[in-house]
Amino acid sequence: MTTSSNQCFVWKWLRGHSEPVVAGRLTIDESGQHFTYGQSYLKRPDAEPIYSHELPLSAGTMQPVQGMSIFSCLRDAAPDAWGRRAIISRLMSKSYDAEFNEMTYLMHSASDRFGSLDFQESATEYVGRSTDAATLEELYLVSEIVAQGKKIPLDLDKALMHCTSLGGARPKAMITAGEVKYIAKFSSQNDTYEVVYSEYVAMKLAKLAGLNVAEVVLKKALGKDVLLVKRFDRELIGGIWCRRSMVSGLTVLGLDEAWASEASYVDLVNVMKQYCIAFASDSQELFARMVFNVLIGNTDDHARNYAFFVEGDKISLSPAYDICPQNRSGGEANHGMKLFDNSNLSLLSLCLRAAPSFNIKAEKAEEIIRSQINTIIQEFESVCNEVDVPEVTRKLLFKCVILNDYIFNEMEHLKPQYDR
């Protein structure tokens, strides 16, 4: 059975399974989105809700909760800015003449997407998209062509498919290297600083500071730097790839895209308190990440850059990803999420004021901050040396972005004394 242009079937990988099953039907029309679980899925003894706080296991047609224009847990599996740009480029190269809408992006993006869902025309036959391998060189080349707005050559069409299901605004693609799956992140012609190097350094420093972060590797493709970030939503079990169910921090907060700027760390930890399997450890980890983002200058810490594993009706914080110092010319900077009391200013004082919400005492909070500062100072040069970060980039990062003087306002006793 195939769909009309306004509906598709949502397929899901259940825990520990290597093949998906059809979970339900998504319809999009002028009145909005509608989802219905399949009767056969509801009868399965191992049936799992896609996300119980938004799509609980129940019969009948559901609509997004009040205040939401879309099902956020399904939106998490859809492509974001870069993926949509790649889809437009791919389809326009084939003289696609239909309307570009949400269903277009769901149905023309690669199947190896974030989490455990995929979208198909059929309710009975699953056909994966983008199963062909591509080299780093092919992926980098096609990302350059998309960025330049040029037509995609036929011999790179399969490589382009690997770019179509990903989030974020920067060029990236999926790649499998033996027994590991990665997200490959490329530099862009519009970069005003070494973004790939900067993210590598930040992710490595985060790991050394004790944060739970995704593994990263720096590679070369066509003479350009490529950052490989190990995927944590995939597990190789008995030689077969299985998928883990995921949702974004925005979905956990229950916020529509239009209200993403209202997201706050304190609100997020309050929701985590209700639903996290291991709240004590996850809340401390979230606080440590908030502090590290301030110290490292990662102001792009919006709610979509946090993810959670879905464990039945519960959730758990995933490893960190997308930690990258953001270039700034002065001191004051604003974070993607509010740190405390409706303020997103990049200040350690706000982190300390927020600490009680994470069940962290002031003394412990200062201990976390001091420990991270010491790690950054002690390890910055050695991490840069691992991959030969250019001296200009090091000078741009250290004290201009990383440990910028502004973040210590009202917290001068935490400001380190060092010579570089």
CA triplet 43, 49, 55: central angle to 5 degrees?
115
- Is 242:212 a contact under the CB 8 Å cutoff? no
Q: Which two tokens stand for residue 150?
A: 């040029």
Residues 308 and 339 in one domain: yes
Considering its fold, how many domains does the chain have in total?
3
- Helix 265-275 × helix 279-296 angle, to 10°: 160
For residue 129, being part of any structural domain is answered with: no
Categorize the per-residue pLDDT at 80 as very low, low, confident or very high, splitting at 50, 70 and 90: confident
> What pLDDT, on the 0 to 100 scale, is given for residue 1?
33
> What pLDDT, on the 0 to 100 scale, is given for residue 223?
78
Residues 270 and 394 in one domain: yes
For residue 131, being part of any structural domain is answered with: no
Residues 218 and 251 in one domain: no
Residues 206 and 344 in one domain: no
Residues 259 and 301 in one domain: yes
Residues composing the chain: 420
- DSSP 3-state assignment of 59? coil
Residues 336 and 221 in one domain: no
Residues 68 and 146 in one domain: no
Residues 280 and 397 in one domain: yes
Stretch 306-315: mean pLDDT: 96
**Percent of the chain at pLDDT exceeding 90:** 65
Of 89, 120, 151, the one marking the end of a domain is: 120
For residue 314, being part of any structural domain is answered with: yes
For residue 370, being part of any structural domain is answered with: yes
Residues 191 and 313 in one domain: no
* Contacts for 3-10: CB closer than 8 Å, 24+ residues apart: 3/121, 3/122, 5/98, 5/103, 6/103, 7/103, 8/103, 8/106, 8/107, 8/119, 8/120, 8/121, 9/119, 9/120, 9/121, 9/122, 9/123, 10/35, 10/50, 10/74, 10/117, 10/118, 10/119
364 pLDDT higher than 50? yes
For residue 93, being part of any structural domain is answered with: no
pLDDT digits (tens, 9 = 90+) for 185-216: 988 777 788 899 999 999 999 999 999 999 99
Of 230, 260, 295, the one marking the end of a domain is: 230
Residues forming beta bridges with residue 29, ordered by sequence position:
32
Domain range enclosing 143? 136-230
For residue 311, being part of any structural domain is answered with: yes
166 pLDDT higher than 90? no
Residues 147 and 286 in one domain: no
For residue 92, being part of any structural domain is answered with: no
> What pLDDT, on the 0 to 100 scale, is given for residue 165?
75
For residue 294, being part of any structural domain is answered with: yes
Q: Which two tokens stand for residue 41?
A: 């899925």
> Cα separation of 374 and 376, whole Å?
5
Residues 276 and 201 in one domain: no
- This prediction's pTM: 0.93
CA dist 113 → 131, 160, 399 (Å): 12, 14, 37
Of 167, 199, 230, the one marking the end of a domain is: 230
* Contacts for 350-355: CB closer than 8 Å, 24+ residues apart: 351/287, 351/290, 351/291, 351/294, 352/411, 354/265, 354/266, 354/287, 354/290, 355/287
Task: Write the DSSP symbol of residue 353.
Answer: H
